Structure 1
Amino acid sequence: MMHLSILSTLRLVFKDKMESLSLVTAGPTTIVDTKKHSPCPLAAAIGGKKWNLRFAMEQVLNGTFKFTKGCRA
């Protein structure tokens, strides 16, 4: 009998200084480098501003996506 493993993913919500939100979906063993994930990855390379992503606060998660930190939705 074939064993099927359940695929689980992590949903990480980041925001930048301009309050833009970024949703990154990754596998449980994936390393997420926030310097490579931004709304405009080439902005710094072409002389634009840096995006400096950080985790969104729980109030943003609840207000925008209607879920709380750590929930399994």
Structure 2
Amino acid sequence: MTTGQMYHWTQRYQRADKQPEPTRTLSLSQIMDDMMAVHRIPMLSKPTYEQKHPQVMQMYRVVADARDFN
């Protein structure tokens, strides 16, 4: 992931994180979908992908863990 891409995802995450629920979680889920499409993140965990793209997976997990399903 380039520095510009990381900045883009971080900015989207920060904007989404400030929204009230349930909009917040819906926005975070959309970011995850967009990241999967742009970075071709596999649906199932693949260690080889994770080793090759640690920054992508770290950002993806931050977004995923921020969602609220309560």
Q: Which has the higher helix share?
A: 2
Of the two structures, which has the highest relative contact order with CA contacts closer than 8 Å and spacing of 6 or more?
Answer: 2
Q: TM-score range by the shorter chain?
A: under 0.3
Q: Which has the higher strand share?
A: 1
TM-score, length of structure 2 as denominator length: 0.25
Q: Which has the larger radius of gyration?
A: 1
